[in-house]
A = this chain, B = another copy of it.
Amino acid sequence: MELAGVGIDLGGTSVKMGVVTPEGEVLARKEVATPKGPARPAVAELSRVVLQLIQASGLRPERIGSVGVGTPGILDPKKGLVRTASNLEGWVDVPLGDWLANDLGRPVRVINDAHAAALGEIRFGTAKGIEDLVLLTLGTGVGGAVVVGGRVVGGSRGLAGELGHMRIEMSQPRPCGCGLFGCLEAYAGAKNILKRMHEALADDIQEISLLKEKSKVGPLTVEDLFWAAAEGDGIMLRLVDETALALAAGIANLLHALNPKAVVLAGGLSRSALLVEKVQEYLPDLVLNPAYLDDFCVTISSLGSDAGLLGAAAAAMPFPS
C-alpha cells in the first residue's frame, strides 16, 4: 500500500494543511492563520500543527511518508528555499524544506503554490489525465502554471507560470501591482478590476450604474460588479467585457505558444459564469486557426481551494510529478 502524505498550502493569510492519500482523499485537515514574526519560530509552529494533524488523521505515523508545501514568492525548489515572498513578511532565503524536514522527520518538497494547484488539478481534479494544459488562477492577482506532457513546467529557475504578467498592452498600459505596465493582471486581477470599477463609478456623474448608490454606503466587491453586470448595468457590463477580452487575449497567447488541450480557470473570478461565458465568446476571434479550439476546452477548477493542498501533497509523493 502506498503511503499517504501531507500537503501544506502556505498562503499570506492562512495555511491549509491536510493528510492526503495517494488517491487524493483528504483524511484530516486543519487551517490556521499564517504565523507572523521571525521565520524559524513561524515554521516551528507550522510543524507543531502538522504533527497534531498527523495524529488526528488516525493513520499510524509510519503510514505517512512525505510532506509537500506550496508557497508563494520566489523559490529555489531544488534547495527547498523561499528566496523572497511579498506575502510572507521578513522571509528572505528561508530554508523552509530543511526546517520542516528537521522538525517532521520526513522528506519535504517545496514548490510554487500555483504549480501545486496545477499538479492537484492534473492528478486529482478536472484536468485528470490531460497532458498539456494551462492553469490560470484568477484571484486578487492572476497566476498560473503551464503543464507540458503531464509535468508542471518550472523552467530554468522554477519561475515559469507567471501568466498574469504577460504584457497585453503597449500603447496605453495600465500600471500593474507588480510595478510593470500592461500586464494581464492589470486588466483581469480582482484588485485591478475593482480599481477600474471605482474609476467608472467616479465618472458616472449621471448615476446610471446600479452600484452608484451602494458605492456611497460601503465598500464594493467584485461580486457586486458581476451581480450588477448580470442585472444589465451597462457600465459594469462594459468592465466585464473588457476583463473577458483581456483574459481571452491572454489565453489565445497561451494557445499559440503551447497549443494546450485545456485551460483550467481557478480562483474567485472563475466562479463568475458571465465572465467565463464571455471569455469563450471572444476566443474564436483571437486565434490564428480554428484548429487551436478543436478538442480544446476552457474548464473550471474542480478542486477549488483544495487544489494547492492536494497538489503539494502529490508533488512530494514518490510517483511521477
Contact = CB atoms under 8 A, between A and B. Distances in A.
Interface stretch (A207-215, A226-234, A247-255, A305-313): A247-255
Contact of A155 (B132, B151, B171, B286): B132
29 contacts: A132-B155, A132-B156, A148-B149, A148-B153, A149-B151, A153-B258, A153-B259, A155-B259, A155-B261, A158-B259, A159-B259, A159-B291, A160-B256, A160-B259, A162-B257, A166-B166, A166-B253, A166-B256, A167-B168, A167-B249, A168-B168, A168-B169, A169-B170, A169-B171, A170-B246, A170-B249, A171-B171, A172-B172, A182-B249
A203 interface: no
Given A156-B295, A157-B259, A169-B171, 5 more contacts: A132-B156, A162-B256, A171-B172, A180-B287, A182-B249
Interface string A185-210: 00000000000000000000000000
A154 to B, nearest CB: 7
Contact of A291 (B157, B169, B245, B253): B157
A74 interface: yes
A74 to B, nearest CB: 6
A292 interface: yes
Contacts of A288: 162, 165, 178, 180
Contacts of A165: 256, 288
A260 interface: yes
A7 interface: no
Given A170-B168, A171-B171, A288-B178, A257 B260 contact: no
A291 B93 CA distance: 14
B170 A258 contact: no
Nearest to A289: B74
A288 B289 CA distance: 31
A257 B146 contact: yes
A121 B291 CA distance: 28
Contacts of A170: 168-169, 245-246, 249
Nearest to A250: B167
Contact of A160 (B153, B166, B171, B258): B258
A253 B159 contact: no
Interface string A105-119: 000000000000000
Nearest to A156: B261
A260 B246 CA distance: 25
Nearest to A254: B257
Contacts of A260: 155-156
A294 interface: yes
B163 A256 contact: yes
A77 B287 CA distance: 20
Nearest to A155: B259
B254 A156 contact: no
A255 to B, nearest CB: 8
Contact of A252 (B149, B167, B296): B167
A161 interface: yes
